[in-house]
Amino acid sequence: MSRFKYSVGPWNVHEGADAYGPATRDTISFEEKIIKFKDIGFDAIQFHDDDAVPNMNSLTEKEIIEEAKKVKALLDKYELKAEFVAPRLWMDPHTVDGGFTSNSSEDREFAMWRAYRSINIANTLGCEKIVLWLAREGTLCYESKSPVQATKWLIEAINGMLTYDKNIKILIETKPNEPIDRSVCPTMGHAMAISAASIDSSRVGGLLESAHAILAGLDPASEIGFAMAMGKLWGVHLNDQNGMKFDQDKSFGVENLRQAFNQMKVLMENNYGANGEYIGLDVKVMRTEKQDGSYRHLENSLKIAKALEAKAEKFDCGFQEKCVAERDYEALEMYVMELLMNG
C-alpha cells in the first residue's frame, strides 16, 4: 500500500509524434484513457483547459462550463478526482510570442481569458489548483523583451487570477527552457520569489518536475526540498531525464535511480501529501512502442515509485545519524547503494 495518491494527465498517453516525425500510434479517447488510468491505480486526473474543453476558444463562458460538467460526470462515474487545470498557452496563434509576457497587449489579454476560463473549468471539476507551465514566457531573441517588464507582467497576471477567484491556488511549474530559450521563471527559487511578490503569497506555490530541474542543471530532490522548506510544494511531476538536452519525460527512475530515491525520500520525510497533494507522473512512452504498449511507461513509473517508497521506508535513519555524527560519508553512501542494489 502506498502512502501517496498518484495522478496523471491525458497527454501522458500520446500518439508518438515528435518534432521530426509523425504519429506512430492511434489516438485513444479520453474516456478509454481514464478507465485505464483507474485500472492501473491512479487516483486523479490532471488537465490542460482544452483537455477538458476542446475548441474552447470558440465557446462562450457558459458553454465552456457546460462542457466541463460533462467531464466532471465522467470523473465521478469512474471515481476519479481532478487535480488541476493548466491553461495551454503555447499552441494558439495568440501565444506565438508567449502569453502573459507577450509583447502584444492583445495576446496578453487572450492569455488572461484562458487563465480565467481555466479557473471556471477547475471550479466545475471540483479542484482548486491552477498550474502554470510557462512554456513560452521568455525569450527567443534576448533583446526582444525586458526581463524586468516580463517578470512584472507575470506577477500582474498571477495577481489577476488571485483576484478573479478567492479560493484558487496557483502552482508555477518551473522549467528553464524548451520551447523557449530563456524562461522568465526557470527554477523553484524564482517561483518562490514570484510568490512572495504576489498579492497573496499563501496561494502561490510550486510544482516541481524532475526533468525540468535536471534541464536547469539542478538536483530535483533539492528543488523539492527548497519548495517544501517554504511550505509551497503543492505538486510534483516525477519523471526522468538523461542530461541537459530536450525534455524527455522518461519513466521515473530509469536514468538515475539514486536521484529518484532521494526525491521519494525527501517527499516522505517531509510528509508530502498530508494536505491532499498528489504525486503526478509526467512521463511519455517511447516513440517505438506499439499501440498495446501505450500505458507501459505509466505502469513502470508507478511500479518504480512504489518500490522506491518501500526502499525509503526501509532506510535506516539510525545508521544515517551514526554516519553523520562520525562524518563517515563513504559508509553512508555505500549503505544507500546497497539498499538500492539489493532486492
Shortest Å distance, C-beta 48 to Mn ion: 11
CA 304 to chain centre: 18
Shortest Å distance, C-beta 179 to ligand XUL: 9
Q: Could you tell which of Mn ion, ligand XUL, none binds residue 175, using a CB distance below 5 to 8 A set by kind?
A: ligand XUL
Q: Could you tell which of ligand XUL, Mn ion, none binds residue 45, using a CB distance below 5 to 8 A set by kind?
A: none
Most distant CA pair in the chain, distance: 66
CB closer to ligand XUL out of 145 and 175 = 175
Shortest Å distance, C-beta 175 to ligand XUL: 6
CB closer to ligand XUL out of 128 and 247 = 247
Q: Could you tell which of ligand XUL, Mn ion, none binds residue 277, using a CB distance below 5 to 8 A set by kind?
A: none
Give the residue, chosen from 209, 240, 247, 255, that forms a contact with Mn ion under the rule CB under 5 A: 209
Task: Let me know: does 194 contact 185? Beta carbons within 8 Å.
Answer: yes
**C-alpha span between 169 and 65 (Å, rounded):** 19
CB closer to ligand XUL out of 223 and 312 = 223
**C-alpha span between 317 and 229 (Å, rounded):** 20
**C-alpha span between 338 and 343 (Å, rounded):** 9
CB closer to ligand XUL out of 97 and 247 = 247
Between helix 147-164 and helix 188-197 the angle, nearest 10°, is 60
Task: Give contact residues for ligand XUL (rule: CB under 6 A).
Answer: 11, 48, 86, 133, 173, 175, 209, 237, 247, 282
Q: Which stretch binds Mn ion (CB under 5 A): 122-130, 198-206, 230-238, 286-294?
A: 230-238
**C-alpha span between 107 and 255 (Å, rounded):** 39
Select the residue whose beta carbon is closest to ligand XUL and give its number.
Answer: 133
Q: Could you tell which of ligand XUL, Mn ion, none binds residue 128, using a CB distance below 5 to 8 A set by kind?
A: none
CB closer to ligand XUL out of 100 and 311 = 100
Rg (CA), the chain: 20
- Footprint of Mn ion on 255-314 (CB under 5 A): 282
- DSSP one-letter string for 85-100: EE---SSSGGGBTBST
Q: Could you tell which of ligand XUL, Mn ion, none binds residue 84, using a CB distance below 5 to 8 A set by kind?
A: none
Shortest Å distance, C-beta 213 to Mn ion: 11
Whether the upstream peptide bond of residue 10 has omega within 30° of 0, thus cis, is: no
- DSSP one-letter string for 193-248: HHHHHSS-GGGEEEEEEHHHHHHTT--HHHHHHHHHHTT-EEEEEE-B--SSSS--
- DSSP one-letter string for 14-25: ----BTTB--SS
Q: Does 51 bind Mn ion (CB under 5 A)?
A: no
CB closer to ligand XUL out of 173 and 223 = 173
Shortest Å distance, C-beta 207 to ligand XUL: 8
Give the residue, chosen from 14, 237, 265, 297, that forms a contact with Mn ion under the rule CB under 5 A: 237
**C-alpha span between 240 and 308 (Å, rounded):** 14
- Footprint of Mn ion on 163-202 (CB under 5 A): none
User: Which SS3 state, helix, strand or coil, does residue 169 take?
Assistant: strand
| Sites of contact with Mn ion (CB under 5 A) | 209, 237, 282
